[in-house]
Amino acid sequence: MEQFDLVIRGGTVATAIDTFQADVGISDGRIAALARDLAPGVKEIDARGKLVLPGGIETHCHIAQESASGAMTADDYDSGSVSAAFGGNSCFIPFAAQHRGQSLREVLEIYDTRAGPKSVIDYSYHLIVSDPTETVIQQELPEVFERGVTSFKVFMTYDKLIVDDRQILDILATAHAYGGLTMVHAENNGMIKWMVERLRAKGREAPRYHAPSHPAAAEVEAIGRGIQLANFVGAPLLFVHVSTPGGARLIAQAQMDGHAIFGETCPQYLFLTRKDLDRPGAEGAKFCCSPPLRDRDTQAALWRYLQNGTLKLWSSDHAPYRFDASGKLSAGANPAFHQIANGMPGIELRLPLLFSEGVRKGRITLNDFVALSATNAARMFGLADRKGSIAVGMDADIAIWDPEARWAVTHDALHDNMDYTPYEGIELVGKPVTLLSRGEVIIDAGRLEARRGRGQFIKRATFKSNQEPLGMGSEFRHTSDYWNA
C-alpha cells in the first residue's frame, strides 16, 4: 500500500468545475491521489469542515519595481511573496519593467537577482515594454519567449511608459508570432493631460481631483482602440484593471464577436469609491490609483461582468507606496493630485475580499471563485500544465480555507511592508489558514513555515486560446502576408 508524503484528510475539494469530498494524497510535491479514505501519510492535515482549493495565482502586482519616476515599491520579493502567501496565493507573476534605454536581457537579469534569493512562492514575470526598438522587437523579444516569459504589458498613457499605436502593433504582431499574450493599461493619454491642465488652471489640486482627471471616457476610448489594434493583427489582448461598465461592455461585445479579447478587474473598483479620495488633508492620497476609483453604480455593473465571465481575471494590482516621503508624499506633505504615486496595496486581501463578498453573499459560486482566483490565470498565462487546479499530477499548490472564520481587516495583521491598508475595518467571512506550495506547508495557523528563496522561477508555456480563429478575418490574413513574410 502506497504511503503518501502528506494526506489532506476530510476536506471539501473544489475546482473550477466541480466540488466534492475527498482526501488529497501528495507525493514528491505533486498530487498523487484524490479519493475517500486514502492510506495514511507520513504527515497528515485534518481538513474536516474546511475547503481545499487550488492555491491562488496572483497575476497583477508590482514587486521590487521602480516606477517611471524612479520610486521603488515598498515590497520586495520577501515581504511581497510572504504577504501573497498569507492571502492564499502559492504563485505570482509580478512585472519586470523595462525603462527607456534598457535591454530586455538587462531587465530580466535585474529581476532575477531580486526574486530568486527572496521569494517564498513560485514566480514568473510579465515584461513591461516601454522602449520597443527594432532590436527589442526583432532580437530580444524572441529570446524572452525562449526563457519562458510569455506575457507582456504596454501602456497607452504615462509619458515615460507610453507606446504609440504603431509600436503596439509591432508588439502585438511579435506576440502573435511567438504565442504570447499582450496586456494593456488602456487610458487615453490626451484626454487625461487635457483634464489635468484644466483642473490645475482652476486651482483644483486636492487628491479628490484625481478621479475627474482620469475620466471614464479615457478608458472606454482606449479599450475600443486597443480592441481594433488587436483584431487588426489577429492577436489576443488582455485589458488590465477594467474600471468602467463601458469598457467592460466593449470587451463583452468583442468576445461575442469571436475575438480573443479578455478583461481583468481588481478589488479597489468593487470595494472603494471616489468618495474615498475626498478625505481630510492628504489622506485621500492613499486612494489614488489609475484608473481611478469610480462609484457605486460602477461597482454593481462590474460584479455583473464578473458573474457573466466577461472579466476572467481578479487581480490585486498591488502597487505598494507608503504614506510617507518614499511613496505617496514624495512631493511634500500636501501633494497635488498629479504628483501622487499611483497605486494601492492589496495582495494579501485579494482572495479574502472576493470570497467574503462574492461567495458568502451569493454573488458568485465557489467554483467561480476558484476560476477567478487561480484556474483562469493558469490557463491564460501558460501554467495550466502544473498549477491552478486540484488534479492528479499537478503541483500540490493548495490553500485550505476556513469558510466560517469571521475577522476584520487591520493593517497591523497584514504582512506587506506598507503603513496602511485601504480596506481598514472591513469585516470579512472566510480565510485561508494553511497554504502548501509543491507539497510543502509554507503557511499554517498564522505562522510562516517557509524559508526565503524557496520559490522557483516557472518557465511558462505560450498562450493558447479556446477561440479559433483568433479574430483573424480577411483583413488580418491580408496584412499578415506582409509582416509574416
pLDDT of residue 119: 98
Half-sphere exposure of 329 (CA within 13 A, CB side): 13
pLDDT of residue 71: 84
Q: How confident is residue 214, by pLDDT bands cut at 50, 70 and 90?
A: very high
Contact 314, 373 (CB under 8 A): yes
Q: How many CB atoms lie within 10 A of CB 207?
A: 25
pLDDT of residue 436: 98
Whether 484 has a pLDDT exceeding 60, the answer reads no
State the chain's mean pLDDT as an integer: 94
Q: What is the mean pLDDT of residues 122-133?
A: 97
Give the C-alpha separation, 196 to 159, whole Å. Answer: 14
Contact 370, 390 (CB under 8 A): no
Half-sphere exposure of 379 (CA within 13 A, CB side): 14
Whether 477 has a pLDDT exceeding 50, the answer reads no
Q: Which of 302, 284, 389, 298 is nearest to 339 (CA)?
A: 284
Q: How many CB atoms lie within 10 A of CB 257?
A: 12
Q: What is the mean pLDDT of residues 34-40?
A: 96
CA 259 to chain centre: 22
pLDDT digits (tens, 9 = 90+) for 328-379: 999 999 999 999 999 999 999 999 999 999 999 999 999 999 999 999 999 9
Whether 481 has a pLDDT exceeding 50, the answer reads no
Which amino acid would we find at residue 166? R
Longest dimension (CA), the chain: 78
Burial of 166 (0-12, 13-18, 19+ CB in 10 A): exposed
pLDDT digits (tens, 9 = 90+) for 405-454: 999 999 999 999 999 999 999 999 999 999 999 999 999 999 999 999 99
Going by their DSSP bridges, the two strands 311-314 and 95-97 should be labelled as unpaired
Give me the percent of the chain exceeding a pLDDT of 90.
93
pTM: 0.95
Q: Which of 321, 176, 178 is nearest to 237 (CA)?
A: 176
Cα separation values, 483 from 65, 176, 181, Å: 34, 11, 18
Contact 415, 431 (CB under 8 A): no
Whether 1 has a pLDDT exceeding 60, the answer reads no
Q: Which domains does the chain have, with CATH numbers?
A: 56-372 (3.20.20.140)
Going by their DSSP bridges, the two strands 398-408 and 427-437 should be labelled as antiparallel
Going by their DSSP bridges, the two strands 440-444 and 89-92 should be labelled as unpaired
pLDDT digits (tens, 9 = 90+) for 232-274: 999 999 999 999 999 999 999 999 999 999 999 999 999 999 9
3-state secondary structure 160-223: CCECCHHHHHHHHHHHHHHCCEEEEECCCHHHHHHHHHHHHHCCCCCHHHHHHHCCHHHHHHHH
Q: What is the mean pLDDT of residues 119-132?
A: 97
Q: How confident is residue 70, by pLDDT bands cut at 50, 70 and 90?
A: confident
